[in-house]
Amino acid sequence: NAGVMQNPRHLVRRRGQEARLRCSPMKGHSHVYWYRQLPEEGLKFMVYLQKENIIDESGMPKERFSAEFPKEGPSILRIQQVVRGDSAAYFCASSKGGGRMNTEAFFGQGTRLTVV
């Protein structure tokens, strides 16, 4: 059973370009979380999704950022018109959900976005 797969591992974008980060959850997991880790800071919650639904996006910047988790395929975190301040490591996690015993999240290796 493969773990949470994130790709690409490293992504370089010029200012103004779009960045697409992909996350394939573990088999059987229907809950996906995205976190951002800025240099010298902790992990910040961005968005929590279930299949085809955004449950909590209170940590998402109001502009340029969006996320989806379609019925088929990976979850996508999309950043439009990237700026230098978007440079960070973005981690995706998945869980089974559905109750207290299924809240453990398994993390991907992260995507390191560098905006030049």
Partner 1 sequence: AQSVTQLDSHVSVSEGTPVLLRCNYSSSYSPSLFWYVQHPNKGLQLLLKYTSAATLVKGINGFEAEFKKSETSFHLTKPSAHMSDAAEYFCVVSDNNNDMRFGAGTRLTVKP
Q: Which residues contact partner 1 by CB under 8 A?
A: 31, 33, 35, 41-45, 48, 55-56, 91, 93, 95, 97-110
Who's near 8: CB < 8 A, 6+ residues apart?
21, 22, 111
> Residue 40 Cβ, how far from partner 1 at the closest point, in Å?
9
End-to-end CA distance of the chain, in Å?
A: 36
| Nearer to partner 1 (CB atom), residue 9 or residue 15 | 9
| Nearer to partner 1 (CB atom), residue 74 or residue 83 | 74
| Nearer to partner 1 (CB atom), residue 11 or residue 107 | 107
> Residue 52 Cβ, how far from partner 1 at the closest point, in Å?
16
The count of other CB atoms within 10 Å of the CB of residue 69 is 25
> Residue 4 Cβ, how far from partner 1 at the closest point, in Å?
8
Instruction: Identify the three-state secondary structure at position 102.
Output: helix
> Residue 57 Cβ, how far from partner 1 at the closest point, in Å?
11
Closest-CA residue to 38 (of 83, 103, 94, 93)? 83
